[in-house]
Amino acid sequence: MGMIKKEEIRGRQDAEGKIVCADCMEDDDWKDVREADLFTDDHVEKSDDLFFCDLCGNQL
Ligand SMILES: [Zn+2]
């Protein structure tokens, strides 16, 4: 697994498929995370889709 800077992380997908933005992620969300679950700057900017946090509704 490569290294990802925390400030490049915009959010993650949880086990239920919900999207949680970095602001809404709690300590456990940061610890228990796989690279494949993360949304990074790169991922969001290269995607044609828009991603929204399921908790606060903000765009990632
Ligand atoms: Zn949020």
Q: What local confidence, expressed as pLDDT, does residue 32 receive?
A: 86
Q: pLDDT by residue (tens digit) across 26-48?
A: 999 999 889 999 999 999 999 99
Question: Strand, coil or helix: what is 45?
Answer: helix
Q: What local confidence, expressed as pLDDT, does residue 45 receive?
A: 96
For the chain, what is the mean pLDDT? 94
pLDDT category at 2 given cuts 50, 70, 90 is confident
List CB-based neighbours of ion ligand 1 within 5 Å: 21, 24, 53, 55-56
* 13 alpha carbon – ligand 1 mean position (Å): 12
Closest Cα partner for 50 from 7, 10, 6, 3?
A: 10
* 57 alpha carbon – ligand 1 mean position (Å): 6
Q: What local confidence, expressed as pLDDT, does residue 1 receive?
A: 57
Q: What are phi and psi for residue 14, nearest 5 degrees?
A: -90, 180
* 9 alpha carbon – ligand 1 mean position (Å): 13
**Helix (H), strand (E) at residue 21:** strand 19-21
